[in-house]
Amino acid sequence: MDGLDRAQRPHVLVGYDATEGNEAALRWAVDEARLRGLDLVLCHCWHWPYSADHVDDDVEAIIKRAGEKLLERGEARAAELGAPGTVGGRLRAGPAADALAHESGDAELIVIGSRERHHLPVGSTAVRLAARARRPVVAVRHNGRTRGLVVAGVDGSPGGDAALGFAMEEAALREWSVRVVFGVWEPGAVDEAELALFADKERLAQVRAVTLERAVAPWRTRHPKVDLRASVVMDRPREALLEAAEDADLLVVGDRGNGDLGPLLLGSTSSAMLQHAPCAVAIAPSAA
């Protein structure tokens, strides 16, 4: 991925809060740890609900102890689900996005739970963490049966290539298929010299097909056993990806693409996928 030995990222990190919706994330994290041969670390974040000048040490100690008990139950549940190796817990103070980003430095990837589609606030933990993390973030929501399909969104950007790499890795580990989608109708995200392409859809499709094949060719070689299909879709990226994700177990996108501004912000398409995709969503950072 980024040249570091896997021993320097010896575990899968999962945000844990013991809620019903968090069970799917824990199951996914256990699978990741098993498939990758890594340890599992559960991180629970607590916070003092009042201002800093109204801290009660006794009450704070009770809150921390409750967090420790919660982690103990989570570790036991992970063991029940078949977590390999060591299962550990980390209790941290502060907002979950900040704590998980801080703890993720030595993690292979981060797994968190996600609310149901269309109910994820723009400033949610998933969106904020994915914008800050240097490792892939998988936001898991329960979507029923397993279909054995990973969808990856590409656009010719480094973020798209990172997404494709993570999608192929997941598919190889799980023995799933990959569908690569290039939604090309995005005139607002191209250089002025390319605007003429949008007056000729056939030419646009041909040019973008070359870009797509250039992106997927190295991954076909690297993972020859993975069933990979790639297609150019004459639609906006978010619509193309959401339609493809209806049949997927996992949708993978980069943290930002060609049309997104702001290195400290999550791209608009990536944010939309976290909010509206019907399946688990992985955000792959370009830096990785």
pTM: 0.88
- What pLDDT was estimated at residue 53? 75
Query: What's the confidence (pLDDT) of residue 47?
Result: 78
Contact (CB, 8 A) for 76 and 82: no
Tokens of 170: 């997941």
Burial tier of 124 (Cβ tally within 10 Å: 0-12, 13-18, 19+): buried
- Give the pLDDT confidence score for residue 4 in this predicted structure: 45
Q: Give the per-residue pLDDT at 261.
A: 44
Q: Which domains are seen in the chain, by residue range? A: 6-113 (3.40.50.620), 149-284 (3.40.50.12370)
Torsion of CA 101, 103, 108, 113, to 10 degrees: -60
Give pLDDT, residue 219: 96
Per-block mean pLDDT, blocks of 10 residues, the chain (288 long) = 51 93 94 96 86 80 93 96 93 90 92 72 78 93 85 92 96 98 88 84 94 95 97 95 96 74 65 92 84
State the amino acid at position 204 in one-letter form. Answer: L
The span from the CA of 71 to the CA of 90, in Å, is 8
